[in-house]
């Protein structure tokens, strides 16, 4: 049944993803030591790890749901919420914080219309915080996907972000 907010093509895509997830689970079935590998593959399929996916992986690998959730929340590369196509991360490590990282974060939240750890409605951007990206000499710094930007000014930040549209 198609809900009001879900077209039939979205439903078909979701069913296809769950079919692919079953293949991943079959590959790792009964191998609890391969939990992280299975979760990586599942996240690559869905873009995040919704509860239903967590339950299916737990059952397939014969581990508890709490163990799956523990792994997901321990490692910061896993997400339980949909992520944007572009991940904007503002550094709030000591050097960046002192040199204006907090102002960058506030500007990004205002301009993108989301708070840290949220994703825009169009799923174009996710906004996050990192504690250090190793660019202390370039503080304040931010990451967009795998690209590092240093000495970022609040007046130029959105110009940088908009390049990823």
pLDDT digits (tens, 9 = 90+) for 45-74: 998 999 999 999 999 999 999 999 999 999
pLDDT digits (tens, 9 = 90+) for 6-59: 455 556 687 899 999 999 999 999 899 999 999 999 999 998 999 999 999 999
pLDDT at 12: 63
Element (H, E) at 101: helix 101-112
pLDDT digits (tens, 9 = 90+) for 118-137: 999 999 999 999 999 999 99
pLDDT digits (tens, 9 = 90+) for 78-88: 999 888 999 99
Domains defined for the chain, CATH in brackets: 8-74 (no CATH), 86-162 (3.40.30.10)
Q: How confident is the model at residue 77 (pLDDT cuts 50, 70, 90)?
A: confident
Q: Are 11 and 2 in contact (CB under 8 A)?
A: yes
Place of tokens 């002192």: 98
Residue 106, classed as helix, strand or coil, is: helix
CA distance 130 to 70: 20
């Amino acid at each position: 049944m198609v809900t009001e907010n879900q077209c039939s093509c979205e439903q078909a895509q979701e069913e296809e993803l769950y079919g692919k997830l079953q293949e991943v689970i079959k590959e790792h079935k009964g191998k609890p030591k391969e939990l992280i590998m299975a979760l990586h593959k599942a996240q690559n399929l869905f873009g995040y790890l919704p509860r239903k996916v967590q339950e299916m992986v737990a059952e397939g690998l014969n581990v508890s749901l709490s163990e799956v959730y523990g792994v997901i929340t321990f490692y910061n590369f896993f997400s339980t919420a949909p992520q944007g196509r572009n991940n904007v991360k503002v550094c709030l490590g000591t050097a960046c914080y002192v040199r204006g990282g907090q102002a960058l974060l506030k500007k990004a939240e205002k301009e993108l219309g989301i708070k840290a750890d949220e994703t825009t409605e169009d799923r174009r951007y996710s906004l996050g915080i990192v504690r250090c990206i190793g660019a202390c000499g370039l503080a304040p710094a931010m990451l967009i996907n795998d690209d590092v930007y240093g000495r970022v000014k609040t007046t130029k930040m959105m110009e940088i972000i908009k390049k990823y549209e």
